[in-house]
Copies of this chain bind each other. A is one copy, B any other.
């Protein structure tokens, strides 16, 4: 299974019709989500593609193309209805789909994530954390109970879980990933340093977050300042 890459290909639009929305467009949608959310916070009702363009530092033509992929939300000379556009993007991105998540690993990162408003803002409900450390089990963090890994199976039988956030030590990640898939978890958000390699028939979606890679890119740029594009 290839990870951190997504197929370009056919997607479905809001009416369930197959369209040719590339995964590149899908990857850009969360950014529209953030900017539209901010416009709503500012009480802005309507925005033109050129205004959005200068806010987001992409061309107006790119914006029109991206948004037209989903059925053309804008009106010529009138712009986009911010609330409508936001609602549509939320729908496409599964905000409001009632996604249930668990966090595996109640260490520093797991505890930081469970307290973050990020999940709630995106409609993801953290229903439990799991750990193997007896001194953590039974405690509550951010209103979420830390349970023993031995409870995982029975928990998932009672409350179907869509997604697991992996913040456990990398040594255990393969084994735990298998266990999660066996228990019906369909999405893995992987923060461990280990890239997940699941069997090709595993019906699971993996999104790897390699913070260390991002740090190294910044390192590289700091050490090679002459390679920066000064026109940016």
Among the listed stretches A7-15, A75-83, A131-139, which one makes contact with chain B, having 4 or more residues with CB under 8 Å of it? A7-15
Question: Are B163 and A93 neighbours in the complex by a CB distance under 8 Å?
Answer: no
Question: Are A7 and B109 neighbours in the complex by a CB distance under 8 Å?
Answer: no
Min CB distance, A23 to chain B, in Å?
Answer: 8
Q: Is A123 an interface residue (CB 8 A)?
A: yes
Assembly of this chain: how many copies? 2
Min CB distance, A33 to chain B, in Å?
Answer: 6
Indicate whether A207 sits within 8 Å of B218 (C-beta atoms), given known contacts A11-B227, A232-B7: yes
Question: Are B57 and A218 neighbours in the complex by a CB distance under 8 Å?
Answer: no
Q: Is A210 an interface residue (CB 8 A)?
A: yes
Most buried by B among A2, A9, A30, A226: A30
Question: Are B111 and A232 neighbours in the complex by a CB distance under 8 Å?
Answer: no
| Pick from B2, B116, B186: contact of A109, CB under 8 Å | B116
Q: Is A159 an interface residue (CB 8 A)?
A: no
Question: Are B163 and A212 neighbours in the complex by a CB distance under 8 Å?
Answer: no
Indicate whether A122 sits within 8 Å of B219 (C-beta atoms), given known contacts A10-B227, A34-B212: yes
Among the listed stretches A64-72, A94-102, A150-158, A174-182, which one makes contact with chain B, having 4 or more residues with CB under 8 Å of it? A94-102
Question: Are B221 and A187 neighbours in the complex by a CB distance under 8 Å?
Answer: yes
Q: A124 CA to B216 CA in the complex, in Å?
A: 9
Min CB distance, A173 to chain B, in Å?
Answer: 13
Question: Are A26 and B222 neighbours in the complex by a CB distance under 8 Å?
Answer: no
Which chain B residues border A231 with CB–CB below 8 Å? 7
Partner-B contacts on A (CB < 8 A): 1-3, 5-7, 9-12, 26-27, 29-31, 33-34, 57, 92-95, 97, 99, 107-109, 111-112, 115-116, 118-119, 121-124, 162-163, 186-187, 189, 193, 195, 197, 200, 203, 205, 207, 209-229, 231-232
